[in-house]
Structure 1
């Protein structure tokens, strides 16, 4: 059903503005999309709409204009906000160093019915819900509608710090329905009113706008632990923003540093000191308001935080309200892994090109080490295949963040999993493989492929991923080829003129193959030396 919008009396707001400015707003003929009117001393008055902003007058705002508005709105509170009684309009002041008002933001307040249907099923579960989103995106509007819906069946109290939910004056706006409203004398006292609401008025639901201080976060936890449902907004746009905010991170469980055992650190592929969630989250569900009609829902905050801290972020559920009013829900798609049989085909040739031992399902096979051997022409015939499915990799002793970075650089679909039981491939270090660590032995017994790296470096990880996905080698730029060919020709001539040998600069395999071919055509000998990425060709006489 298409949402029904009810706009508060815009004339009440226009009535406190200087007449020329009010008339300019009316001439704009776009009141349905009007968000706020900006009056800054010495600047032209502006009107901001949902998707644009315009200058209202060519004349600059004067002291008289600001004094005109202030004289009609009454006292500006300690939070530099004032309202118009029986409306949802809000006027916020900007002061200079002497405390004089030099700017005003006149925000249009609207009651919008039908905005909460996109998460109404979550409200009805009784779980505590936290709304995040950028300023002006509709958090308070959704919160107001949530209070009205919940108040129809539960004892609901609004802690209205700035009178933004229920409007100014002693009588709350009809948009909050049967919900009771408690006003806050000073913003710094919000946490006390939150606790007072629980102790004195026996609510089943408490609705709070803008939790922004540590004391308010602590009060919210106290309320949740008493079994009261919380519906609130907080400063931040995403779960990660909130988690990194030391003041508010307790809302989602908080963070603390813990030290892992050697075995656990290897199993996770992390350092011994890691971050973990400190306690159960205050809010069960977190909703990121990405756009007015598009939300990202984290239905299990505890699981989402744990996954984020361990580097395995969980995809949220996406909810979208279509133009027709229909609610569309996109569940996170399960990742489809490649079958081992399909992945095994055509892999051996590519894996050998990178050196280093590889464990394939079945008997152990050690690949030749090309670190001190000549490049073979077979490099030109490496098997190439396109990986079209995600492969689940369990890193044991390999840095998880480096694995994710390498996968991102190569553009391959890798899902880093927590347990070997969830994996298609295990990636570890040679030292752990040779030590026959228990997870490695168990992986072998299950027939998993095991890639053993010489070192825990991004270059080594990229080589293993390239082998795993049968990636074609990246072609060098034409300029690099010309430069390499010129250097090679100079080296060949130096050897022909009697020099014992010449070492060429480090190069990728395709350039090294070209250098070997040029040396062969000059009836000279060439070998490759060193380890990637510093592997180079040496040219000398037979």
Structure 2
């Protein structure tokens, strides 16, 4: 994990305190205007050592300016979505006052919070399980269980194994592209579409990139399923994630019941809260 891109955007005092942390345990830096800066270490948020002074709005603006290489205009699209991606895949998330146009966020002003999430390439699936990815697979697990991480790992495994994979990275969390280059390893034969909704992205990849697999994170809407259904008629296989604690809970939800009726997925990868992974047939 390269912390240099994160340290480079911090003011000197924050940089010094962050350098003294156990970087292997650091998950986030959270900076809130009017409050002392905090760090999330091993899942627990605490005040950053040696930094009892409150964060200022000016400090937040300077951090965002540094994150965009002093050119907020060039990062306007991602800033509108509330984040900036740093080299290495680290993400700077933003909160503040939203400026709206036709009910859509155009920009964030008067910043109130900045969250810097530390990127890690984590392996959580046994290699023998990844080698069994031969049919459309749905990754199932509760929030925070590591579904997105496992999805990225499956994409990389298929891609490096010789398959063409189209990845709809709606929020930039899977590949963390910066200037078109994935900052996280998603495989040598993966084409990444960022900043686009899942249904639109599926259609675009199908038209433009001739994928053998299409991967999306978090199926949440009927239009996602309609797009997947149409793409399946072209012989494309899918990797996707869904929020559910068990296959039984999945079956009880109307949206996911439609997935079963269409038989879009043949495999389930089930993540337990302790990140243990098992594979089942989709029943």
Bigger radius of gyration among the two = 1
Provide the C-alpha distance between the structure 2 equivalents of 1:77 and 1:51, rounded to a whole number of angstroms: 26
As a proportion of its length, which structure holds more strand?
A: 2
Does 2:69 correspond to 1:62?
no
Residue segments in structure 1 that go unaligned for 5+ positions in a row: 1-6, 254-278, 304-542
Q: How many pairs align?
A: 262
**Does the 8 Å CA contact 2:39/2:46 hold for their aligned counterparts?**
yes
Among residues 156, 172, 187, which one is paired with 2:182 in the alignment?
172
Q: Give the Å deviation of 1:111.
A: 1.7
Mapping for residues 450-529 of structure 1, pairs under 5 Å: none
Q: 1:281 aligns with which of 263, 274, 282?
A: 263
Secondary structure of the residue that 1:216 maps to in structure 2? helix
Shift >6 Å, 4+ stretches:
none
CA RMSD after TM alignment: 2.6
TM-score, scaled relative to structure 1: 0.44
**Does residue 1:14 correspond to 2:7, yes or no?**
yes
Task: State the 1:83 CA deviation.
Answer: 0.3
- Residues 138 and 265 in structure 2, CA contact (< 8 A), matched pair in contact too: yes
- Structure 2 unpaired stretches of 5+: 69-74, 100-107
Contact persistence 1:221–1:251 (CA under 8 A): no
Deviation for aligned residue 1:136: 4.2
Higher RCO (CA-CA < 8 Å; seq separation 6+): 2
Q: How does the TM-score come out when normalised to structure 2?
A: 0.80
State how far apart, in whole Å, the 1-side matches of 2:27 and 2:155 are: 22
Match of 1:82 in 2: 84
CA 97–31 in structure 1, closer or farther in 2 if over 3 Å, else same? same
Task: Give me the whole-angstrom Cα distance separating, in 2, the residues matched to 1:65 and 1:106.
Answer: 14
Distance 1:229 1:164 in 2: 21
Q: How does 1:113-132 map to 2 (within 5 A)?
A: 113=123, 115=125, 117=127, 119-123=129-133, 126-132=134-140
1:143 Cα deviation (Å)?
1.9
Quote the Cα distance in structure 1 between the aligned partners of 2:96 and 2:245.
27
Note the alpha carbon deviations across 1:143-190, whole angstroms, 9 max, x for none.
22222211122122222222222223212236122132232344xx33
Asked if structure 2 preserves the Cα contact closer than 8 Å seen for 1:116 and 1:146, the reply is no
How big is each residue's C-alpha offset from its partner over 1:453-511, in whole Å with a ceiling of 9 and x where there is no partner? xxxxxxxxxxxxxxxxxxxxxxxxxxxxxxxxxxxxxxxxxxxxxxxxxxxxxxxxxxx
Q: Is the 8 A contact 1:147 1:179 kept in 2?
A: no
Deviations 1:297-343 (A, max 9, x none): 4x232x2xxxxxxxxxxxxxxxxxxxxxxxxxxxxxxxxxxxxxxxx
Alignment counterpart, residue 42 of structure 1, candidates 34, 38, 42: 34
Paired residue for 2:167, among 158, 168, 190? 158
Q: How does 1:145-224 map to 2 (within 5 A)?
A: 145-151=153-159, 152-169=161-178, 170-173=180-183, 175-186=185-196, 189-224=197-232
Question: Displacement of 1:12 after TM fit?
Answer: 0.9
Whole-Å Cα distance in 2 between the matches of residues 118 and 23 of structure 1? 43
